[in-house]
Structure 1
Amino acid sequence: MGREYDQDTTIGAGKLRIRTRGRAVLSNPMTNRGTAFTAAEREALEIDGLMPTGYTTLENQTRRVYEQYRSNKSMLGKFLTLNALRDRNEVLFYRLLSDHLQEMLPVIYTPTIGEAIERFSSTYNRPRGVFLSIDRPDKMEQSLRNYGLGADDVDLICVTDSEGILGIGDQGIGGIQIAIGKLSVYTAAAGIHPRRVIPVVLDVGTDNLGLLSSDLYLGEPHSRVRGERYDDFIAQFVSTVTELFPQALIHWEDVGTANAYRILDRYKDEVCTFNDDIQGTAAVVLAALLAAVEVTGVDLDDHRIVVFGAGSAGMGIASLVRDQMLRTGHSETEEEAYSRFWPIGIQGLYLEDDHRLHEFQKPWARSRTDVAGWELERPDHIGLMDVIRNVRPTILIGTSTKGGAFTREIVEEMARHTARPIIFPLSNPTSRAEATPADLLEWTDGKALVATGSPFDPVDHDGVRHVIAQSNNALIFPGLGLGVAACRASRVTDGMIAAAAQALAGMVNTWRPGAPLLPGMGDLRLVSATVAIAVATRATEEGVAQRPLTDPVGQVFERMWQPRYPEIEAI
């Protein structure tokens, strides 16, 4: 591991062998445990007198820092408090987070992480992660080595270029916070050891004029680099990472739409890589759809699906649902499966002669024949209401970030033609959701089957309490990463993504009126372990597991790090 200590990070509770002494022990967040050091440990590590004499258990420390956390009134204040704790005592940070994961997830992840990203340069305190500049490509390999991890020490690298951050767009170097936040969830939810991950930001400039005009901005002060130079930088990054850390899964996060699909398609068959915005979003939505479809009693491939906001996330969802139709449904050809989808973007319904479509969107475009004879609200534009009236969809998915786009008129029109409309307003944050669950249930007289991207309170309607499923990627990506690490998968296949979705869908029971379509966020450790087992098992079946599982349950749970103080040996 590092020069200051040694620990086997591939098991849940490896002994911590500490080389340093004195104040250096207390300054490293992985060796520091503050007042929880015993008298013998204090003497052996030469830290007697450097803290109060009283001994405190981890449980009592957790109680104390939780009260400190609660004393902060603002979400950003809570975020900064947690950051400071992690920089001081990593075990205590993850114990607190694990004990209160459902409560704290909106703080360390969406939506609060968005504000932390926007204010990264002004609130900057202590560096965490690796910052790679497109203007200094010669520094890339050494920068990654400087993080201090060896070839077999890394399970996950979460990387962003910060162009498509959480619906708030280009945030330049501040995107490092989303990589850090994601990896925190990997650890808290799935037990990936915090010293087996690397957060990375690719600083390729920014087109955010507010950042460029600020004297405090810490990134490269020029516009965003695109084209061949950008592609060469990405290729160098992938090549360098796979050489230095051959076992690591490369997790792409919040890459702009124009590049996200290209990068995934370019590298998914060559290295172990995964795009959460495309594949993670798709998997959790597919799981919710499978649960909802079970309620309707109509086979998945007999549904008519409108995707409103059909960018990288929307088309990722459509792709996985299409594959599920081909894998398990009655659709015999891709053409039949494609015919079930109606994608809508800024320009309206995707049509095959629209030159504005990206390559990944073109296969989904409808022909002019498909819309011949439609009566339109505007003769030059086929909008959402036009599609609802003419297609009569049974499933409506929103990934548009257009708050309130699913109006009462649209929802009531949809409900007129289907007994149990499936409506998923998935955009984050809450203000950008296409509709609220309360409105959807009111407008459909309680018949809508709803999942959202942001958390919403339960809705009471006509004597039934509807618990709203949150289609949060945290239900998928931590378990996927754990499953990949447990079997050392060389690739992330479409079959592994589908297995994750099916495992998640299998964890809910929708027989009770108002039951959620997905497990709750309070069950993330169980969810992640279940998903990991399914992923590792499918990887073994598909021949991409370099360490095939003979005891999936045992091997997965053995890899799950627990936030407990390990045995210490002073060396």
Structure 2
Amino acid sequence: MTKATDILNNPFLNKGTAFTTKERKELGLTGTLPSKVQTIKEQAVQTYGQYQSKTSGIEKRIFLMNLFNTNRTLFYYLMNEHIVEFMPVVYDPVVAESIENYNELFLKPQDAAFISIDDVDSIEDSLKNAADGRDIRLLVITDAEGILGIGDWGVNGVDISIGKLMVYTAAAGIDPSQVLPVSIDAGTNNKALLNDPLYLGNKHERVYGEKYHAMIDKFVAAATKLFPESLLHFEDFGRSNADVILKKYEDKILTFNDDIQGTGIISLAGVLGAMNISKEKITDQKFLTFGAGTAGCGIAKMMFDELVRQGLSKEEAKKRFYLVDRQGLLFDDTEDLTDGQKQFVRSRSEFANADELTNLEAVIKAVHPTVMIGTSTQPGAFTETAIKEMAAHTKRPVIFALSNPTKLLEASAENLIKWTEGRALVATGVPSEDVEYNGVTYTIGQANNALVYPGVGFGAIAATSKVINEEMLSQASHALGGIVDPDQPGAAVLPPVAQLTEFSQKVAEVVAQSAIDQGLTKENITDAKKAVADAKWEPKY
């Protein structure tokens, strides 16, 4: 018989004071808990009161992680009740502070699997041990080289995987006992970590090239062998590896890269929402992406695919894109281009002043973009003069400042509205307050990947899809882009996080339906809504 301590220390089984008198007798728990049997609602009221007593974001996150480690069902019940309030605490932006202090705050590994490049022979055992016999359907994997806004954080970045999985469960309803966060420790180039005596990861610089990719191949082989029904979600890999891994596996296994595909889907959904408001066509737009890393190139690719789907030839579509990075506009002779960047570079012969296009404002003057998306992590990069120059050449400029955390925003929503006299259609990567301007209240959409990746991943898992492809991602973007009322003055281009569970379900259903329509399901699934409903987990005892 299972010991009382084993049950009370297992977050998947523990109900705490909600164990009934009958359960306490049957499980050998009599006398191990106070006499009163509480409902989950009573527990939630009590727990939320404790949460509110914490004053800083990091204190609140530590409290929630302790609850998560103790009782998963109560954690998700509470998160569902307070999803808008908890989202920035369990994930972005407070997760950045948690990662930066991971070694100092470490108490428990939160059921994660830790894979080391220095011990590749133990990969399969590591996954098996961390799963502990659970039926894993979703792994979120990071090597934490490119955490948006804070860069390379080595093994500390496992908090990214843990946070992403929390959002998957809270938003879409995947069973928390069926998920596995994975840290790929390939070393770190973060000198502060290498010099930190408390650092818990490998104390050497990052390994790249053949040895790194051999480890990833070994990991994928082990994960798909042990968990054949699972989705492998890759998160915050560096720009030299992210696209390479996605391209290698996207047609072979059920996999998803949130930085490339998730950021692309939410940005496309936002642009489609903006088009609904402006009554313009996406095929008439000119796109400038400022910050041509993994996210920026993923966004450009998603927009490009949509233009082709809507009737433009690939040659016509490519002419609508301009990538700007640290060195200015990217040309075909720019040094050290990534594969993602090479798809959208321009020729110097197109411009009389090509050598002068070394900063954002010069590029805006030269190309007159109608859609500008920032993933640069350069605070204040969207200056008043740059924005006014853009707005002078288009009636409803679409401007998304997606860098996070807040201190890295290219421009505040308030300034973007003010500098364009209320004409800009704005989204930010972090939550932004409503903006009052000339008697109109502008609601600011948050281009948060959490609006879309839980539904995409869960829909594919529920339908037992073999892959996630462009058609599914397009369906997800259109599902989100159609939720907002475009005729409301000051309408947001994206739906609010408060409706996260509602539209995660909608996205899951359209993705599952797309898998069914394309004949991609492993099992004989014909009803998308039923498949999603059957797979959905709810936080109740």
When normalised by structure 1's length, the TM-score is: 0.93
Q: Which moved more, 1:154-163 or 1:356-365?
A: 356-365
8 Å CA contact 2:253–2:467 kept in 1: the answer is yes
Residue number in structure 2 paired with 1:224: 206
2:240 to 247, 254, 258: 258
Q: Contact 2:463 / 2:528 at 8 angstroms: preserved in 1?
A: no
1:349 equivalenced with 2:316 (yes/no)? no
Shift of 1:453: 0.4
Match of 1:146 in 2: 129
Counterparts of 1:146-545 in structure 2 under 5 Å? 146-148=129-131, 153-329=135-311, 331=312, 333-371=313-351, 373-374=352-353, 379=355, 381-545=357-521
| 1:536–1:549 contact (8 Å) kept in structure 2 | no
- Which structure exhibits the higher relative contact order, with contacts defined as CA atoms closer than 8 Å and separated by 6 or more residues? 1
Task: Report if aligned partners of 2:288, 2:373 keep a CA contact under 8 Å in 1.
Answer: yes
The aligned residue for residue 523 of structure 2 is: 547
Equivalent pairs counted in the alignment come to 540
> CA offset at residue 419 of structure 1?
0.8
- Work out whether residues 161 and 175 of structure 1, in 8 Å CA contact, stay in contact via their aligned partners in 2: yes
Q: 1:64 aligns with which of 46, 51, 75?
A: 46
Contact 1:114 1:166 survives alignment (8 Å): no
* SS at 2:340 equivalent: coil
Counterpart CA distance in 1 for 2:523 and 2:159 is: 32
Say whether residues 1:132 and 2:115 are aligned partners. Answer: yes
Following TM superposition, the consecutive aligned residue runs of length 4 or more in structure 1 with deviations greater than 4 angstroms are none
After superposition, give the CA deviation of every residue in 1:76-118 in whole Å (9 maximum; x if it has no partner).
1001000100111111111111110110000000001011111
Q: What are the Cα deviations for residues 341-400 of structure 1, in whole angstroms up to 9, with x where unaligned?
A: 1110111101011122112211211011211x23x7xx5543211121121111111110
In structure 2, the partner of 1:11 is: none
Q: CA deviation at 1:298?
A: 2.1
Shift of 1:482: 1.1
- CA separation in 1, counterparts of 2:317 and 2:357? 25
Distance 1:206 1:212 in 2: 7
Q: Distance in 2 between matches of 1:471 and 1:139?
A: 39
Structure 2 counterpart SS, 1:361: helix
Judge conservation of contact 2:375–2:401 (CA < 8 Å) in 1.
Answer: yes
Q: In the alignment, is residue 47 of structure 1 matched against residue 29 of structure 2?
A: yes
What is the distance in 2 between the residues matched to 1:525 and 1:558?
A: 16
Task: For residue 558 of structure 1, report the CA deviation from its aligned partner.
Answer: 2.1
- 1:492–1:39 distance in 2 versus 1, CA, 3 Å: same
Question: Could you tell me which of 64, 68, 85 is aligned with 1:103?
Answer: 85
Match of 1:6 in 2: none
Do the aligned residues in 2 keep the contact of 1:313 with 1:399 (CA within 8 Å)? yes
Residues 85-100 of structure 1: pairs in structure 2 closer than 5 A: 85-100=67-82
CA contact (8 A) 2:269 2:481 kept: yes
SS in 2 for 1:200: strand
| Structure 1 residue matching 2:339: 3-state secondary structure | coil
Does the Cα contact within 8 Å between 2:428 and 2:444 map onto a contact in 1? Answer: yes
What SS does the corresponding residue of 2:182 show, helix, strand or coil?
strand
Following the alignment from structure 2 to structure 1, what is the Cα–Cα distance between the partners of residues 292 and 197?
A: 37
Residues 185, 478 of structure 1: 8 Å contact kept:
yes
| CA distance in structure 2 between the partners assigned to 1:495 and 1:111 by the alignment | 31
TM-aligned CA deviation for residue 452 of structure 1: 0.7
Q: Which runs of 5+ in 2 are unaligned?
A: none
Q: Which AA in structure 1 matches 2:487? A: W
Paired residue secondary structure (1:397): strand
**Aligned mates of 1:241, 1:94 — CA distance in 2:** 26
Q: Is the 8 A contact 1:186 1:192 kept in 2?
A: yes
- Alignment check: 8 A CA contact 2:328 2:359 kept: yes
**Aligned to 1:554, what secondary structure does the other structure show?**
helix
How far apart, in 2, do the equivalents of 1:149 and 1:357 lie? 43
Distance 1:504 1:548, change over 3 A: farther
Letter in 2 for 1:430: T
C-alpha contact 2:451 2:500 (8 A) present in aligned 1: yes
Task: State the partner residue of 2:96.
Answer: 114
Task: Return the alpha-carbon distance in structure 2 between the equivalents of residues 53 and 468 of structure 1.
Answer: 49
Among the aligned pairs, what percent are the same residue?
44
CA distance in 2, matches of 1:149, 1:263: 27
Bigger shift: 102-111 or 381-390? 381-390
Deviations 1:209-239 (A, max 9, x none): 1111111111111111111111111111111
The whole-number CA distance in structure 1 between the counterparts of 2:308 and 2:280 is 16
Contact 2:60–2:89 (CA<8 Å) still a contact in 1? yes
Instruction: Using the TM superposition, name which of 20-29 and 455-464 deviates more.
Output: 20-29
Alpha-carbon RMSD across the aligned residues, in angstroms, is 1.2
Q: Is the 8 A contact 1:343 1:364 kept in 2?
A: yes
Return the alpha-carbon distance in structure 2 between the equivalents of residues 353 and 507 of structure 1: 42
Letter in 1 for 2:17: T
Could you tell me how far apart the structure 2 residues matched to 1:295 and 1:395 are?
A: 14
Could you tell me which runs of 5 or more consecutive residues in structure 1 were left unpaired when the two chains were aligned: 1-18, 566-571
Secondary structure of the corresponding residue to residue 59 of structure 2: helix
